[in-house]
Structure 1
């Protein structure tokens, strides 16, 4: 595999333009036929051969994440990357093409699929099967310069504090913990709550996950967070917030409608009304937060 040249200027291309080109090429090369085999059940196929709909709908998020990570790498020389919740690995595969040393981690149901083993192996990306509720990560102390966890924290239905402490352990000093997730204070949540609507997981999704034949092995959002809550969680576990920002799909729509333009105007005045947020946290020290894990949380593990 030939690495993409990106540290210096490449003609008139910006980093974002280069990332978009490499990402799009990777999406078409690796996911032209998007098959999903889970728990030995029937395959789910995305019949669009050029732009798998799930990946295409999240393209703007992948571009933003990759640009942020490459910018940090360029400034610090960071090379060793772990993505927690890599899913099908589009971010990992793209970062690998930019010359980073990448490990993709996710639940065994994803990581041990034959097509995943072949895809990651062929592209030189290391796989790791993890269950985050076990709290222990199969990596040495200070193993990574960059740890990415996007659209994962909100899916956890257990206390995340021991997990974040474990992530702190495997991050090197001054490493980046890149955390992206929905914004609980999104304006639609605020308005809905005023009218008595819940901001939490719809009951129907609980039923869907346990319906025979369902492929919903990872349920929806058990707990979303505000900006202040993310800062509190990370700062008590050895991180400092280098940067935090809110983002929205409306920011990058190529042909915005009048409604989109009005929404952009509101968001420019009140960015905390946007639906998503990203925190770039630097590991300033090894967390020494005392932790006792009760048996009601984990059957055997008492501390991390």
Structure 2
């Protein structure tokens, strides 16, 4: 069965979506707003960096920043390197990050966690390499978006959680914030929140609606700040769950 792709939205066959700008769900403008007035960053890391789109946002606000990217796809690694990004080809679910503790001022994890089965190992490594006082920016699809609520009302499945898609986890504002605070044992505090993309509206209207009603947007973005020294709370939380795999491994 063939799935059509319109406006960057996989499977978007409905005529209602013909004006939707698919790239809006990645939230470049939302990321820029969240990072505004947060000072200049010296070292920035992007987990699942792709072609470096989000790192370019940081480079614009912090021209002297040293950029690092973790990416598994070899072709995208080559693109990152061509842009001056220090690139490491690493499997996020099975390998420790090749950096010392408290190395980065900011870590970005945008549109990645929904693809990950065992997220606590990744969150552990993120907290480990992030400086105290630094930021982690997380972007995920919102299962509680307005269009998903409407779909469920009519007995349809949420678009962010299709069984035949690459997404294996779902996120909403309250649940994600609770997970980070609970599993992290208070190490992270939410300091800002934003939304991006608003089905089925065109770009200008979508931006207005996602700004006014961020928790109803297609994608949601969290800016957490690391409040204190980190030991291994995410790792231990993951280890306590029977579904965890990588947190069963030794940290040594």
Match of 2:85 in 1: 125
User: In 1, Cα distance between the equivalents of 2:139 and 2:226?
Assistant: 16
**Structure 2 vs 1, CA of residues 300 and 195 (structure 1 numbering), >3 Å: closer, same or farther?**
same
Asked whether the equivalents of residues 44 and 66 of structure 2 are also in contact (C-alpha less than 8 Å), the reply is yes
Match of 1:241 in 2: 190
Matched, 1:81 2:24: no
Matched, 1:163 2:122: yes
Relative contact order: is structure 1 or structure 2 higher (C-alpha 8 Å, sep ≥ 6)? 2
**Structure 2 vs 1, CA of residues 280 and 298 (structure 1 numbering), >3 Å: closer, same or farther?**
closer
Match of 2:218 in 1: 275
Matched, 1:175 2:175: no
Which residue, 101, 106, 110 being the options, matches 1:150? 110
Aligned residue for 1:147, secondary structure, equals strand
Q: Cα offset for 1:127?
A: 0.2
Asked whether the equivalents of residues 93 and 120 of structure 1 are also in contact (C-alpha less than 8 Å), the reply is no
Match of 1:139 in 2: 99
Which residue, 7, 17, 27 being the options, matches 1:61? 27
Q: Cα offset for 1:142?
A: 0.5
Show CA shifts across 1:38-62 (max 9, x none).
xxxxxxxxxxxxxxx75x8426722
Show CA shifts across 1:215-253 (max 9, x none).
xxxx2x211211111111221311011112233357982
Q: Which runs of 5+ in 1 are unaligned?
A: 1-52, 206-218
Asked whether the equivalents of residues 93 and 125 of structure 1 are also in contact (C-alpha less than 8 Å), the reply is no
User: In 1, Cα distance between the equivalents of 2:248 and 2:124?
Assistant: 18
Which residue, 66, 77, 87 being the options, matches 1:101? 66
Give the aligned CA root-mean-square deviation in angstroms: 3.3
User: In 2, Cα distance between the equivalents of 1:170 and 1:128?
Assistant: 15
1:165-244 mapped onto 2 (5 Å cutoff): 165-199=124-158, 201-205=161-165, 219=166, 221-236=167-182, 237=184, 238-244=187-193
User: In 2, Cα distance between the equivalents of 1:81 and 1:299?
Assistant: 25
User: In 1, Cα distance between the equivalents of 2:211 and 2:66?
Assistant: 36
1:27-46 mapped onto 2 (5 Å cutoff): none
> Larger Rg: 1 or 2?
1
Match of 2:53 in 1: 90
**Structure 2 vs 1, CA of residues 287 and 296 (structure 1 numbering), >3 Å: closer, same or farther?**
closer
How many residue pairs get matched? 222
User: In 1, Cα distance between the equivalents of 2:28 and 2:175?
Assistant: 24
Aligned residue for 1:132, secondary structure, equals coil
User: In 2, Cα distance between the equivalents of 1:148 and 1:95?
Assistant: 10
Q: TM-score with structure 1 length normalisation?
A: 0.62
Q: Which runs of 5+ in 2 are unaligned?
A: 1-6, 9-20
Q: TM-score with structure 2 length normalisation?
A: 0.74
Q: Cα offset for 1:143?
A: 1.0
Q: Cα offset for 1:83?
A: 0.6
